[in-house]
Structure 1
Amino acid sequence: MGIIAWILIGLLAGAIAKALMPGKDPGGILVTMLIGIVGGLLGGFLGKVIFGVDSIDGFFDLSTWIAAIIGSVIVLAVYRAVTGRGNRRHVHA
């Protein structure tokens, strides 16, 4: 797949991951794209390692999108844990 396809998949997978996970959303559209792109790569890698399948075959392949979304959810969770964002309750003294 070309770089434009990866950016588009990244943008959409990152946005879907943000919609699936409650809490404060980190960053804007650029962070969303990066989370999605990294998530797509992670999802493809995990698909190969765990299931022995090449899940990043093409833009319109369902397994590509599922892998990208699952990977994006994982990356978003890690990003929130590292940056300290997410569901936090503030206690006011």
Structure 2
Amino acid sequence: MGILGTLLIGLLIGAVARFLKPGEQPMGWGMTLLLGIGGQALGIYRAGQPAGFVGAVLGAIVLLVVFGYLRKS
């Protein structure tokens, strides 16, 4: 997958993760993009696996929870 594909998939994963996690996440589209790429980088996602998208979204939700705890302290 090229860089553009990674960026687009990352943005989609970040947006889905932010939609699924309850509460407000004060971040722009750039942080959403980085969140989705971070979800992919956790290693759950493998290119070409349909369930990998779900794993990347779950990874991004975990990162959102960690980001929320770090932001509070």
Taking structure 2 as the reference length, the TM-score comes to: 0.86
| Structure 1 runs, 4 residues or longer, greater than 3 Å off | none
One-letter amino acid matched to 2:41: L
1:78 shift after superposition: 0.7
Paired residue total: 72
One-letter amino acid matched to 2:24: K
Which of 7, 22, 46 does residue 56 from structure 1 map onto?
Answer: 46
Unpaired runs of 5+ residues, structure 2, are none
Identity of aligned residues (%): 38
Unpaired runs of 5+ residues, structure 1, are 48-54, 85-93
Backbone CA RMSD of aligned residues: 1.3
1:22 shift after superposition: 1.0
Max radius of gyration: which structure?
Answer: 1
Q: Which has the higher helix share?
A: 2
Deviations 1:52-73 (A, max 9, x none): xxx4123xx4123112111111
2:3 alignment counterpart = 3
